[in-house]
Structure formats: structure tokens, C-alpha cells
Structure 1
Amino acid sequence: MRLRDKVALITGASNGVGRATAATFACEGAMVVVADIDDVTGADTVEEIHSAGGRAHYLHLDVTDEASWRTAIEEVLSHFGRLDVLVNNAGISGSCDTGLTSTDYFDRLMSVNARSVFLGIKHGSAAMRHSGGGSIVNLSSISASIGLRGVHIGYGASKAAVKSMTTTGAVHYAADGIRVNAVAPGMLPPMRTTRGTSSDPVFRATQVDAIPMKRVGEVQEVANVVLFLASDESSYVTGTETVVDGGWNSV
């Protein structure tokens, strides 16, 4: 098992990539802390993992709130004594129904997509120093590197912030035995927060046609990459951004 007895905290773990990652980690022997603001689906994720023979614990976490992060990390250390892996997965879509230049939505994007990762790195790295090292994996996006139609103008900026914090964090924490990497997915099935233009099937079809592989990615394909970066197999990998986009970012 690639994560045998490691303690892994995954934010936004009740659905999508987070849920797939939680299930994958549990299958690989990790004690998975499922963190989310949706207590109902979070509990469902834990039950699904238990039913498959894995280990999981639910934790309510508002990733935009620093006090909530402090409480969460304290609970992890109190219950399990260590933190080995942090996956900063929680985020919201760049698609919205309030307009692609909405200032309110810009602020929301920065809070949920960027501030949350900063807080996760800040408090997760402190816990990992206590544990003797670990791995932080952040979820960025190909929007950090290329412009996409149909998404809020600030979405790419929020994900570019994640990309930058990943490379800077890697330099800051390498001497502590803490690796910081990012995964940048391309087009995936719609998130539960997807609204507006990019939720339209006709528009999505035109986007899929621009992907060299001519299909969207699956959440499990992203989870598999996160697993590699979380595991000891990537022990000499830090500060990287792994793109999972079917070749979209190459054209």
C-alpha cells in the first residue's frame, strides 16, 4: 500500500476530485480526514470509505476561515498524533451566473481558491514539522497558464496564485522535509458550483472538441496523480505542477 498508515487531510473531500482522492487514499492504506463544509455529503463519503474497508474521519472545515483551520489541525493532531499529507482541493468553479466580471464573485474566487490554499500551507506545514515532514498537494488548473472562454476573468488569477504559492512553498519548506506540489486539471465533469456559460452542453461540446484527446478527464485520473505526489514515490519531487488535461495546454 502506497500510503500505509499515513494521516491525510483532504479539503473539499465530499464530492468530485476530493471524494475520488479520499477513496483512493483509503484504498492505499491512509487514515483519511474528510474535510468539507457539507456535513451530509461528507458523512456519506466517510461511510462509503468505511463500507469499502477503509479508515476515515469527517471534519467540518471552512477553508476560508483561519480559526477553522486552527481547530481542524488541532483536532487532527489530537486524534491521530500527526499529519503526513494535506491535499488542498477545495475550490469553486470559474463559471457563475452573476457575470464574468462580477467583483463579488472575484472576491469569492480569491477567498475559496487562493486564500484557502495559503491557510492550508501555513497551518498544514506547521503540523508536518511536528510530524517530521510530509507532502502538500494543491489543486490548481490549466486556467493558471492559459486563457479560457466562459469563465470568470478572475478564475485563472486565483489558480495562478495557487501555482505560485506551490513553487514558493516548495522552497520555503524543503529543508523541513515537506514537499509542495500542484496538479492542474483541464476540463472535468461539471462541478456542483458550475453555472452560466460553461454549464451549457452546447458550449461544453465546443470546448471538448478543442481537446486533442476529444474527451473530458475523469476525477479518478486526477486522483491518481494526487496519489503519486502524496506518496513516497515522489520523494524527490517538489515545486512541480502536473498538468492533467488531455493535451489541451499543449495547443
Structure 2
Amino acid sequence: MSNLVIKNLHVSVETNEGDKPILHGVDLTINAGEIHAIMGPNGSGKSTLAYALAGHPKYTITEGEAYLDGENIVEMSTDERARAGLFLAMQYPVEVPGVTVSNFLRTAKTAIDGEAPALRTWVGELKESMKKLRMEDDFAQRDLNTGFSGGEKKRNEILQMELLKPKFAILDETDSGLDVDALRVVSEGVNRIHAETNVGVALITHYTRILQYITPDHVHVFANGRVVESGGPDLATQLEDEGYDRYL
């Protein structure tokens, strides 16, 4: 079975005052087909874990390992991690004026697969995926994330996830900035892709509202740079009722 195994991960982030330790020994295993909700208060290290795994240059892994199907991705460049099957849906997607959504996606797909997809097949897949995410046809010709609403940016992240077909997807606060309708569409997209591809998902969130649409197999609480408690879906309900104070 395909898996993502994180062992004793320590991470520092580059700041104006120098490197600041954020993660202090994270252990986590995500198997193919599993959905893991990663919850916790602001500053607990959830997004740091996401960016460190993806290979963001400001986040340095100072100790520990992360294996994707037995390969240590810590030693890989960001593009190598993507080709190995890791995907990050960003909390704040970057605007790229002058690059259309369509061109960006096809270029990314070519880089991941090592060859360009057949144009006719690609256009069909793109249109079908956009339709399922309730995107207008002209969306593909808009500049990437430029002038997009919060819902459009997050749907575009899920569109990338569907077309790039990763083994493991890290969704960094995909629910932030979404109204109820957009949250439902994005959640339906995640559930559909998960069911069709057996992708393993790490769903980072503060709140339980997205978990009303996406049911996790496991819930992990982050506090002070480590996993302090793990459980099933009931743990998320407990957090909604009690908050995070007892972990701080």
C-alpha cells in the first residue's frame, strides 16, 4: 500500500530575526485512501508541516525524515517531490498575471508526467473537471488566480488536484475564505477525487465545518509544533465543543 510516513520531523522557518524552530518532532503516517484532518490553533505548526513537506525554501527540515513510498523526500527538490506524487493546495494561492489557467495546468501536467498530454484528450479532461467544479468555460483562459474570488481560487486548487492525480494531497486550509456554497462544491470535489483515485489526504483546518462534508478517517491535534492527540471523527466534535485551551 502506498503511504506517506513522517518521522520525528523538526522544521525551522526563516524570519527577519533568523531561523525560528516551529516543528518539534512530528510523527504521522497517511496511507493511500485515508483522509486525515489536521487541526489546531493558529501558530501550532500545521501550515509549516505543509510547506516543509512541499519543499518551500524558507522552511528547513533540521531533523527527521519523510518517506513517500519508501523514498526520503527530504532529500528531493520541490519538483521531484511533485513528480513522486505529492501535491499541495495552498491556503493563499499566488496570482500569476500573463499565464492562463489552461497553460499553467498543461505545463504542470507535462512536468509531472514527463510528456505533454495529447491535446484533444487534455481539453476534454479539463472541460469535464471544470464542469464538475461548476466553473464557467472561459475560466480556463483567465490569468492564474488574478482577480479570482476566494471560492474561485480554492476551486482552481482542487481542479489542479484532479488533473495532476497525486498520490497524496495536502490541503492547507482549503475551507478558508469560502462561503457555504463554495465550501460544498470544493468538498464535493475532494470527495469525488478521493473516491476515484484513492488519494491520501491531509486536510489542514481550524474548524469543523468542512468536516461536515468531508468525513476524516483520523483526526490529529497540533499544538506547539507537534501532534498532541489523535483519534477518530469524534475528536473533531470534541474540539468544536471544547476548543484547544487544554492543549496550550
Is TM more than 0.5 here? no
Q: Whose helix proportion is higher, 1 or 2?
A: 1
Q: Which has the higher contact order (CA 8 A, sep 6+)?
A: 2
Instruction: Give the TM-score category using the shorter length.
Output: 0.3 to 0.5
Select the structure that is richer in strand: 2
